[in-house]
C-alpha cells in the first residue's frame, strides 16, 4: 500500500503541496499587510496587451486579456511568496540576474541618448583606431621549398648578398597591401606570421604559407585610414553609446562600492 502511494504522481503532488503550506505556516504573515494587495493597473493591462500583440500580431480578445491578467497575477503571487520564503537567497542565477538589472538601471538612458555631431566627432577624434581601416604593409619576400632552404637563405640575405629564391606566384616586392588583401593573396598563415614581425628589422622568418617558406623583410606597417565622419556616423554613435553605458555602470558601481566595507579572509 505504502509502496503504491510512493509511486503515485498524485501522492507526490499532494505531499509537495503539504510541504509548501507547512513552509508558509512557519514563515508567518508578512509585517506589511499591503504586501498581500495586488493591483493590476490599466497601464499594466495595456502592457500585457501590447506584449501579446507583438508576439501574436494582433490584439488580444477580452477573454484572452483576462487570461493574461490571471497569469500575471499568478506569477506575482508566486514571486512574492518565493521572496517571503527566502527562495531568492543563495541562488546564483537570481543573484546574477539582479546584479545585471542593477547594472542596466545604472546605464538607463544611454541607449536613447542622442549626442550632437560635435560630441561624436570628438569621440571619433579620441578613438580613431576603432574605426580605421586595415593597416597597410610594405615588404619584400623570397620563397623557398623547405624551411631549411629558407633558413640558409636568410643567413645570406642578412649579409646583403643574393640568396636566390623568388616570389613564386606572388610578387617579390609589395609596395602597399591592406591586411585583408594580404590574407586573400598570401593566405592567413602567412599574414599571421607577418603580423609578428617588426618593421625595419631586416630579413626575418622564415614564415610558412600554402606556397612554401618565405624569407621576409617588412619595411613598414602603416595604420589604416579613418573614413570620413559622415560615412561612419552610425558606427561612431553605436560605439559612443556602448562606451557610455559601460562608463555609467562602472561609475554607479564605484559609488555603491564605496559604501561597503569589504574584508577577504586569508
Per-10-residue mean pLDDT, the chain, length 266? 47 44 46 67 93 94 93 88 83 85 76 84 90 87 89 88 77 84 87 88 88 90 87 92 89 85 80
pLDDT value, residue 33: 40
CA separation (Å) from 42 to 48, 65, 69, 259? 10, 12, 11, 39
pLDDT value, residue 35: 64
Round to whole Å and give the CA distance between 105 and 245. Answer: 10
Q: Specify the pTM.
A: 0.52
Q: DSSP label at 63? A: H
pLDDT value, residue 50: 94
pLDDT value, residue 237: 92
Phi, psi (degrees; rounded to nearest 5) at 57: 85, 10
CB-facing half-sphere around the CA of 244: CA atoms within 13 A: 17
pLDDT value, residue 171: 83
Cβ contacts of residue 207 below 8 Å, gap of 6+? 189, 190, 193, 194, 197, 213, 214, 216
pLDDT value, residue 185: 86
Amino acid at each position: 500500500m505504502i509502496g503504491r502511494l510512493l509511486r503515485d504522481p498524485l501522492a507526490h503532488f499532494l505531499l509537495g503541496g503539504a510541504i509548501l503550506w507547512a513552509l508558509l505556516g512557519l514563515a508567518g504573515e508578512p509585517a506589511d499587510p499591503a504586501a498581500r494587495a495586488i493591483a493590476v493597473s490599466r497601464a499594466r493591462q495595456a502592457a500585457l496587451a501590447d506584449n501579446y500583440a507583438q508576439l501574436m500580431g494582433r490584439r488580444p480578445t477580452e477573454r484572452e486579456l483576462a487570461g493574461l491578467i490571471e497569469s500575471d497575477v499568478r506569477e506575482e503571487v508566486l514571486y512574492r511568496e518565493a521572496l517571503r520564503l527566502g527562495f531568492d537567497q543563495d541562488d546564483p542565477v537570481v543573484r546574477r540576474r539582479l546584479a545585471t538589472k542593477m547594472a542596466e538601471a545604472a546605464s538607463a538612458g544611454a541607449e536613447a541618448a542622442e549626442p550632437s555631431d560635435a560630441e561624436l566627432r570628438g569621440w571619433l577624434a579620441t578613438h580613431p583606431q576603432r574605426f580605421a581601416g586595415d593597416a597597410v604593409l610594405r615588404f619584400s619576400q623570397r620563397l623557398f621549398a623547405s624551411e631549411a632552404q629558407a633558413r640558409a637563405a636568410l643567413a645570406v640575405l642578412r649579409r646583403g648578398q643574393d640568396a636566390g629564391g623568388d616570389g613564386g606566384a606572388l610578387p617579390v616586392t609589395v609596395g602597399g597591401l591592406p591586411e585583408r588583401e594580404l590574407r586573400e593573396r598570401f593566405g592567413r598563415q602567412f599574414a599571421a606570421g607577418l603580423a609578428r614581425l617588426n618593421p625595419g628589422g631586416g630579413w626575418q622568418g622564415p614564415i610558412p604559407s600554402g606556397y612554401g617558406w618565405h624569407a621576409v623583410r617588412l619595411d613598414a606597417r602603416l595604420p589604416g585610414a579613418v573614413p570620413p565622419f559622415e560615412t561612419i556616423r552610425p558606427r561612431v554613435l553605436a560605439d559612443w553609446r556602448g562606451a557610455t553605458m559601460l562608463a555609467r555602470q562602472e561609475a554607479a558601481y564605484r559609488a555603491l562600492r564605496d559604501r561597503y566595507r569589504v574584508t577577504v579572509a586569508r
